Amino acid sequence: MGAARRNSRRRSRRPLQVGASPSVAQASHEPSAGGPTPASAYSAAGPAVSLGSAIQRADAGSGDRMIRVPPDGVVHPIAAQLNRPGTHFRVPNFADLQAAYTDKKLAIPESVFQARVGQLLGRMRRDKIGIVDLKGNPITRLKTLDDVPTILAKIFPAPGVIDQVEFENAVDVTNRRRIYATVLDAQTTVKPADQPKLKTTMKDAADLITTVQGDAAGLTAVFGTRAADAKKNYGAARTALLDIAKDLDKHVTTDYNLDDPEVNLGGWANFAGKHMHLLAEIVLVTDPNESKTTLIHEAAHLSDPSVDDHGYYGTPNFEALPESIKVSNAGHYEELPKRVLKTSSYVGETFTPGKLKGGGAVTWEDTIKRSASEYLRQAWDAAVDTHTFIRGVRKSALGGSKSPFTSNVALIKEISKLMDLTIHEQDPANAQVTTLDVTLTESIAHGVGIIGGLADGETVTKPAGPFKTQADEDAAARNAVIDAATARYGRLLGAPARDRKLLDWLVAHYRNLP
């Protein structure tokens, strides 16, 4: 898929939203094509696992009495999920890493290469998976308890030397959630064997839409005076969904390389192209309710070009937004289906502009929270686009085409500098996107997703003035929330000014990347 073709495409995303439904089915998240299950990574915890109740799932299918936790992404935007086990970063497979390291034409300086690998290992270490071993040590995405400099010294014992055994001591290389296998699997058609169940679920979702279209009181409760518009959009969404179900090869892509859970991506849709991209576990219908809800969200984007993303389900002020925003926000089309599925977070609520769940008025603090949430949603969306773009350039190069690189070289180097990739440090004559760079952009997108979740849990405070305008004061308050969440995460780039520069760059490039 050439990068240039995506240029005109407008994407609307939906983050992963596991956790809303208590279904036990959520436990089996590992796609059939995803290689080894993460069982080995978790079983190391033995009987001493201690999980928060919100994340504990019995894995009925594993047969080895292991507590298995949902391995997918952050539950955006619930800050309490900070340490949930779904967060993870990956490193390149050893062969790819070694190839880039020893490539004399690329000539990546030793110190740069080690720093980049160290960055990835540090992010994997930052990803507590919420359980402790018998000695009480938190289990992270790394196999070892060594600190990152020690790991690096072992993997790179001398200049030009990279040690596979030490690499495998640090990272569970059998786990596709630790190792980036191949960009070639990251955006593909749905396998024939997976199609029938998805088609059935699409029809079920279409039936669910029919049900909510008939719920006049519900439509008014959510969309107010725009109920008729919402009903019309539901109808168009249903038609789009049934059309798509007729030819999945043409209209649907998925990701068997598991990039999507890494970057918290549940799916995206493109109105002009009548295209839907779905997380593998949505395609595999591991949680029927979640699959139906995601399909309806994405179908809402296909109902009318006005239906975009203006705040995901459950984000600050979601229920209190103006009717004009609700009717054009895909997340709001989830509410009535969720009421039928009994997964709603707003049971029995009438959505009233300016009023929160329970009847309280939206405060200044709430507004600031929503503003920070939207900033970080846009930053995350652009970070996912950046990763998809960089990955596409790599994929094209593997297919023999360098043109996506050469025609975007200035942008790619700009991204490389902003995100601490290796491209701008390579010999310019031979520069290319390596798998190391792909995993670095993936980990940035993942980190921004985590920051978004953290921001919703931050406290808004009045910034110290004086300010010339209310807008200036609001911006300062919003920025304080973003900076606090970024600092709490701590592993974006590790320098507050650069972190902020990157986030601002991402927001400035929202829906504006190749």
According to DSSP, residue 3 is labeled T
CB of 230 to Zn ion, least distance (A): 16
Site string for Zn ion, 283-312 (x = CB under 5 A): --------------------------x---
Selected from 11, 12, 88, 311, the binder of Zn ion by CB under 5 A is: 12
> Is the bond preceding 71 in cis, omega lying within 30 degrees of 0?
no
> Closest CB to Zn ion among 201 and 328?
328
Q: Which amino acid is at 30?
A: E
> Closest CB to Zn ion among 315 and 371?
315
CB of 494 to Zn ion, least distance (A): 31
Beta carbons of 254 and 270 less than 8 angstroms apart: no
* Burial of residue 139 (number of CB atoms within 10 Å: 0-12, 13-18, 19+): buried
CB of 361 to Zn ion, least distance (A): 28
Q: Which stretch binds Zn ion (CB under 5 A): 6-14, 353-361, 422-430, 465-473?
A: 6-14
Within 8 A by CB and 6+ apart from 458, the residues are 79, 369, 372, 481, 484, 485, 488
CB of 294 to Zn ion, least distance (A): 9
SS3 329: strand
What is each CA distance from 293 to 219, 346, 514, in whole angstroms?
17, 15, 29
> Closest CB to Zn ion among 278 and 433?
278
> Closest CB to Zn ion among 289 and 408?
289
Selected from 6, 14, 116, 369, the binder of Zn ion by CB under 5 A is: 14
Q: Please tell me whether residue 76 binds Zn ion under the rule CB under 5 A.
A: no
| Number of residues located near Zn ion, criterion CB under 5 A | 4
What residues between 255 and 274 interact with Zn ion by CB under 5 A?
Answer: none
CB of 300 to Zn ion, least distance (A): 8
Q: Three-state SS string across 32-44, please?
A: CCCCCCCHHHHHC
The 10 Å Cβ neighbour count of residue 194 is: 20
What residues between 316 and 335 interact with Zn ion by CB under 5 A?
Answer: 330
Q: Point out the residue whose Cβ comes nearest to Zn ion.
A: 12
CB of 14 to Zn ion, least distance (A): 4
CB of 298 to Zn ion, least distance (A): 7
Question: Can you read off the two tokens belonging to residue 339?
Answer: 């009421």
Nearest Cα neighbor of 103 from 430, 438, 440 is: 430
> Closest CB to Zn ion among 330 and 506?
330
CB of 278 to Zn ion, least distance (A): 12
Roughly what angle, to the nearest 10 degrees, separates helices 195-213 and 227-246?
160
> Closest CB to Zn ion among 45 and 300?
300
Cα 191 to chain center, whole Å? 23
Residues that bind Zn ion (CB under 5 A): 12, 14, 309, 330
